Amino acid sequence: MPTSIVSYNVNGIRAALKKGLAEWLAENPCDILCLQETKAREEQVNIQELEALGYKHAWYSAQKPGYSGVATFFKQEPDQIIQGCGHEQYDHEGRVLRTDFGDWTLINVYFPSGTTGDVRQAVKMEFLDFFYDWIHELLKSRPKMIVAGDYNIAHTPMDIHDPVRNKKTSGFLPEERAWLDKWFAHGFTDAFRYCHPDKVEYSWWSYRARARENNKGWRIDYQSVTDNLKSAILEVTHRNDARHSDHCPVWMDIDI
């Protein structure tokens, strides 16, 4: 039976719930929901509406209040939940949450953004190198894997509305795109591109200048599946009907 997995940067779970996230989920039920940028600790959030829909949950929040954080909601209990990736700085920022279901692993990840300046861009590049090595070490024991989240990188000119003007912008820098080239050449498949090689769709829009209404966006949210699972992908869509954030959900159906 197919499993539906959704990745969604909610830009604050409390704000998203106020904007109708639970009602949207009631109308669009999925099996697993990976949220990024929760910006809250579990005890600060009224999640009774989500629990009433049958979801249990795991959280990994940043130590800094109102910052970063990931949470995974699931209807079937995972066999194992592991918070973090063993790196002090990234774990303090609540960036990685692992859940194991049988013989496959789901990683819910929120990559750093480099948009605030050179220091954070350096942190982002260091994270990319660390995360690549950490994942490939984990693959030795968990070879079936899905890595869902906000990668904060648009891969190709097809994935950004204005590639020429943004070629020196964090999120579309040559070195970031080269990292994704390496990522998708060594064991992982971009699930959306696997289903839609030539389709132009975005997952994030600036709040400025009516970017979403004009569809001037970036595709920076991904579901990567290990190559040994790509034939199980049934469909991947961007659910632009969900308006609880400056991102939209990335929805994947997979016969895992």
Residue 39 sits in a domain whose CATH number is: 3.60.10.10
Alpha carbon distance, N-terminus to C-terminus of the chain? 8
The active-site residue out of 31, 150, 190, 221 is 150
Residue 219 has pLDDT above 90, yes or no: yes
Mean pLDDT, the chain, integer: 97
User: In angstroms, what CA-CA distances link 200 with 41, 69, 119, 207, 238?
Assistant: 35, 29, 32, 20, 11
Instruction: Residue 132: give the domain boundaries.
Output: 3-254
Does residue 150 carry a catalytic annotation? yes
Residue 56 has pLDDT above 90, yes or no: yes
pLDDT digits (tens, 9 = 90+) for 142-161: 999 999 999 999 999 999 99
pTM over 0.85: yes
What's the average model confidence in pLDDT over 244-250? 98
Least reliable range by pLDDT among 51-60, 183-192, 204-213? 204-213
Q: What is the structure's pLDDT at 5?
A: 99
Sheet-wide strand order for 188-190: 80-83, 96-101, 104-110, 144-150, 221-226, 188-190
How many structural domains is the chain composed of?
1
pLDDT digits (tens, 9 = 90+) for 91-128: 999 999 999 999 999 999 999 998 888 999 999 999 99
